[in-house]
Amino acid sequence: MTASPSWIERRRRSVARGVATYADVVVDHAHGAEVWDVEGRRYIDFAGGIGTVNVGHTPPEVVETLTRQAERLIHMCFSVAYYPAYIELAERLCAITPGSFAKKALLLNSGAEAVENAVKIARAATGRRAIISFENGFHGRTHMAMSLTGKERPYKAGFGPFAPDVHHARYPDAYRTPEAGGEAVDVVSGADLERVFATRVSPDAVAAIVVEPVQGEGGFVVAPGAWLRRLRQICDSYGILLIADEVQTGFGRTGNMFAVEHAGVQPDLVVMAKSLAAGMPLSAVVGRAEVMDAPGPGGVGGTFSGNPLSCAAALAVLDIFEKDDLPARARHIGSVIHDRFVDMQRRYGIIGDVRGIGAMQAIELVTDRESKEPAAEQVSAVIHDCHANGLIIIKAGLYDNVIRILAPLIIDDQLLNEGLDILDDALSRI
């Protein structure tokens, strides 16, 4: 199935070439985990706005809240005068974010903007300039966020020079790097970071380490809990702040509200966005009160940051999480997907790896299980086949050979299995 040719041509004429779109689907409306295009065709949504609608499309509670809020106040700018929804949301985010210490919050518009501000806050708090992030990570498309990102194409190619004092370390990958007797042991033990300190940047110059507990765009590579705990120890020993980028992993996706909770790690700062506000533009940095207070008045903020509509949507989202226990639902969804993926791997030699945590599940396709040669072309073919048969699904990974699932957490088992059947059929035709 493809979009109406008139829409394709109008898009070609008016939308910048650099804006990529996975599916030639022109959406008219959506609800729950289903989407309908302008010609009435129905699709199951396994992309979820790239993990942005964990509570589903157009949840009634959010729609009603937005309607009421729009009638009262659409915009004020918190830098001009404050309003209750911003403050109430800050309080609730501080309460649910990991950390047994006093916390404060800053509301912003996008994940990239939150990452940029987390770096600003860390530098202000420590008086240091250097930042460490990880290979194959993704942190956004603005300048500092792009500099932190550890994948060249398509995110960084042609856009340099990048921000100085950004250094990339290795990220543990159980599939691509040997677990025993190889480099992965050095990564998990922290030895790789110590090499970075010895060869590239002194630890006393490092303000923060920025890490995704699960690499999202990187292909759903799950960090071992032992490694995340070792990062916390290293940061503590050198006075470095630990920033958890939970933009894609946050709000129940992995089976906990935040992914770092699986490792029992308390970051100094947590960056969140995507499913925070059910698709409304909103992000946040939440962290240690004394760290968050390091920038002076006016040092952080923005015209649209913490817009009243977005704040109202986020409060409704948090109510849904409390009422319906969506992290528990994510754990169930994840078990269903994982079992189906393991069965597919048994039947299809092209599936090299099955991985994930909670409802954040993926398969990595390879042309040969011995060589692990990435099967990027085959992934594209599978995705297009799925789109043609009523399933919206997307890819990821350093080599673009990973099929990932970010279905809304409210999806029921019947719809979930219907979507997995479509994927199974597409794999059978490769």
pLDDT of 113-164, one tens digit each? 999 999 999 999 999 999 999 999 999 999 999 999 999 989 999 998 999 9
Is residue 185 scored above 80 in pLDDT? no
In the chain, what percentage of residues exceed pLDDT 90?
Answer: 94
User: For residue 9, what are the domain limits?
Assistant: 5-58+325-428
CA distance 250 to 270: 10
pLDDT of residue 184: 56
Question: At 186, is the pLDDT very low, low, confident or very high (cuts 50, 70, 90)?
Answer: confident
Q: What is the mean pLDDT of residues 348-355?
A: 98
pLDDT score recorded for residue 413: 98
Rounded Cα distance between 268 and 285, Å, is 10
What are 379-403's pLDDT values in tens digits? 999 999 999 999 999 999 999 999 9
Q: Which of 300, 323, 346 is the last residue of a domain?
A: 323
Instruction: Give the model's pLDDT for residue 181.
Output: 47
Is 80 exceeded by the pLDDT of residue 336? yes
Is residue 319 located within the same domain as residue 332? no
Is residue 185 packed enough to be buried (19+ CB in 10 Å), middle (13-18) or exposed (0-12)?
Answer: middle
For residue 153, give the CATH number of its domain: 3.40.640.10
Mean pLDDT of 101-122: 98
Question: What average pLDDT does this structure show over 250-271?
Answer: 98
Helix then strand then coil, in percent of the chain rounded to 5, is 40, 20, 40
Does position 17 have pLDDT exceeding 70, yes or no? yes
Classify 269 as helix, strand or coil: strand
Say whether both 45 and 160 belong to one domain: no
Comparing 49-58, 169-178, 318-327, the range with the smallest average pLDDT is 169-178
**Average of pLDDT values for 184-195?**
86
Residues 280, 295 within the same domain: yes
* pLDDT greater than 70 at residue 179: no
pLDDT band, residue 348 (cuts 50/70/90)? very high
Q: How far is CA 135 from CA 121, 217, 418, in A?
A: 23, 12, 35
Contacts 24+ apart (CB under 8 A), 65-69: 65/312, 65/313, 65/315, 65/316, 66/280, 66/309, 66/312, 66/313, 68/312, 69/308, 69/309, 69/312
Measured between its terminal Cα atoms, the distance across the chain in Å is: 18
Q: Return the structure tokens found at 125.
A: 């708090």
CATH number of the domain that 419 lies in?
3.90.1150.10
| pLDDT above 70 as % of the chain | 97
Cα 223 → chain centroid: 14
Domain-ending residue, one of 264, 299, 323: 323
Band (pLDDT 50/70/90 cuts) for residue 8 is confident
CA 272 – CA 99 distance, rounded (Å): 15
Residues 27 and 85 in one domain: no
State whether 42 and 137 are in the same domain: no
Does residue 180 surpass a pLDDT of 50?
no
Residue 183 pLDDT: 56
Structural domain total, the chain: 2
In a domain, 220, yes or no: yes
| 401 shares a domain with 301 | no
Domain boundary among 290, 305, 323: 323
pLDDT value at position 359?
A: 98
Q: How high is the mean pLDDT of the chain?
A: 96
Confidence of residue 2 (pLDDT cuts 50, 70, 90): low
Torsion angles phi and psi, residue 377, rounded to 5: -65, -40
